[in-house]
A = this chain, B = another copy of it.
Amino acid sequence: MSNEMTIPASYLKEFTKQVFERMGCPPAQAEEAADCLNQADLRGVDSHGVARLSGYIRLWEQKRLNAVPQMKIVHETPSTAVLDGDLGLGLVTAPEAMRIAMQKARNVGSGWVAVKNSNHYGIAGYHAMMALSEDMIGISLTNASPLVSPTFSKSRFLGTNPIAVAIPAQQEPPFVMDMATTTVANGKLEVLQRKGEDAPLGWAQDQEGQPTTDAFVLKKGGSMLPLGGDRLHGGHKGYCLGAMVDIFSAVLSGANYGPWVPPFVAFLEPPANPVGDGIGHFLGAFRIDAFRPASEFKAHMDNWIRTFRNAEVVAGEEKVLIPGDPEREMTEERLKNGIPVQNAVVEDLQQLAQKFNLTFNPTQHD
């Protein structure tokens, strides 16, 4: 028996939207939040898609998430702002912040919005990609629950703190990078756990800070390693990047940083004595033509992309990828064939349907 069910993306999105509406989200916000989770599933980031829906609901039930946030700009200049997310869904506050950043970019060339008092914002790339349609470069950072140790330490002080950058091209698809600043995203360890497989060295360390291949190590007090792994392989650089994301997202905005970032999972209490409000994000937009005519830039991006795509391939590898290629290919495939949803997640969604008096009865996609 298969341990998953394949469900049309549009069905999942519509159901997700209904759940957010029952939670109390205004329809436009429910739509946007549902789209953000749906895009994660389409892009193959299963850990940040519909599988997370019940997690948001649990936070809301604990009053750690506000379904009807009154978002407010609390400080601004022509090119910057701080947005108070009023404890809203990050899936809602981050797009709002991105819209403000884009408006500032329209006015003065670039816009930068730090968000405080927010919650988990889904995939970083979603928000960065909002800029593409207006010939802007989009940038998206967030801090996250502490699971990562600084180099030489065994304290969990940083999240997987992603960096996403979306850059438009002309005839080529856009350049879209969306990366955790750790060796791997947490979801990769969860995949190994389900398969009963070990993790490669360099992904995580045990609670004493020693190298480990145990995929369950986070449940045993261990921690993830910054991009690079150990010091010899540049792990201190991953630590720098994760730290920068934390500071931009939270120290600039007035959110919680480092070990004070509240956990996404509702069964863990937020740390006592918070140093700020909620979690923090940082969104930015550059207008391309604030630097050079957009058509000129995009023609060179086409050349950049084609040049790198045609780089000489190492024997045994298929092709050289451009950031965004794998997620775009996955999206095409999943729009056509549906999204594989694990049975545990299907049950989760059925419970949500029951809780909110909704129907969750997807037809298996062919």
Residues in A lying within 8 Å of B, measured CB to CB: 75-80, 82, 107-110, 112, 114, 149-155, 157, 163, 165, 167, 175, 177, 179-184, 200, 202-203, 205, 208-210, 227-229, 232-234, 236-241, 243-244, 246-247, 251-254, 257-259, 275-276, 286-288, 290-292, 296-297, 300-301, 303-304, 307-308, 311-315, 317-321, 323
A149 to B112, CA, bound (A): 32
Q: List 6 A-B contacts (CB under 8 A).
A: A110-B110, A150-B308, A157-B307, A165-B240, A252-B288, A275-B300
CB contact under 8 A between A308 and B258, given known A152-B320, A228-B227:
yes
A110 to B107, CA, bound (A): 13
Number of copies: 2
Residue in contact with A153 in the complex, picked from B76, B210, B313, B323, CB distance below 8 Å: B313
Distance from A36 Cβ to chain B, minimum over Cβ atoms (Å): 21
**Which residues of chain B come closer than 8 Å to A108, judged between CB atoms?**
77-79, 108
The 7 tightest CB contacts between A and B, nearest first, are A77-B109, A209-B314, A177-B240, A155-B311, A80-B109, A153-B311, A152-B317
Q: A320 to B227, Cβ gap below 8 A?
A: no
Q: A286 to B112, Cβ gap below 8 A?
A: yes
Q: B238 to A314, Cβ gap below 8 A?
A: no
A79 to B238, CA, bound (A): 29
Q: B257 to A155, Cβ gap below 8 A?
A: no
Distance from A292 Cβ to chain B, minimum over Cβ atoms (Å): 6
Distance from A324 Cβ to chain B, minimum over Cβ atoms (Å): 10
Q: B314 to A153, Cβ gap below 8 A?
A: yes
CB contact under 8 A between A304 and B251, given known A152-B313, A290-B80:
yes
**Which residues of chain B come closer than 8 Å to A151, judged between CB atoms?**
320-321
CB nearest to A239 among chain B residues: B323
**Which residues of chain B come closer than 8 Å to A314, judged between CB atoms?**
152-154, 205, 208-210
Q: A257 to B152, Cβ gap below 8 A?
A: no
Q: A228 to B234, Cβ gap below 8 A?
A: yes
Distance from A81 Cβ to chain B, minimum over Cβ atoms (Å): 8
Q: A78 to B79, Cβ gap below 8 A?
A: yes
Q: A233 to B175, Cβ gap below 8 A?
A: no
CB nearest to A231 among chain B residues: B317
A158 to B179, CA, bound (A): 19
Residue in contact with A78 in the complex, picked from B109, B114, B181, CB distance below 8 Å: B109
Q: A247 to B79, Cβ gap below 8 A?
A: no
CB nearest to A236 among chain B residues: B321
Residue among A108, A184, A254 facing the most chain B CB atoms (10 A cut-off): A108
Q: B320 to A237, Cβ gap below 8 A?
A: no
**Which residues of chain B come closer than 8 Å to A228, judged between CB atoms?**
183, 227-229, 233-234
Q: A167 to B311, Cβ gap below 8 A?
A: no
Q: B78 to A78, Cβ gap below 8 A?
A: yes
Q: A109 to B79, Cβ gap below 8 A?
A: yes
CB nearest to A300 among chain B residues: B251
CB contact under 8 A between A312 and B154, given known A75-B292, A233-B200, A290-B80:
yes
Residue in contact with A291 in the complex, picked from B253, B257, B297, CB distance below 8 Å: B253
A300 to B313, CA, bound (A): 47
A338 to B163, CA, bound (A): 40
Q: A247 to B175, Cβ gap below 8 A?
A: yes
**Which residues of chain B come closer than 8 Å to A288, judged between CB atoms?**
252
Q: A257 to B304, Cβ gap below 8 A?
A: yes
Q: B153 to A320, Cβ gap below 8 A?
A: yes
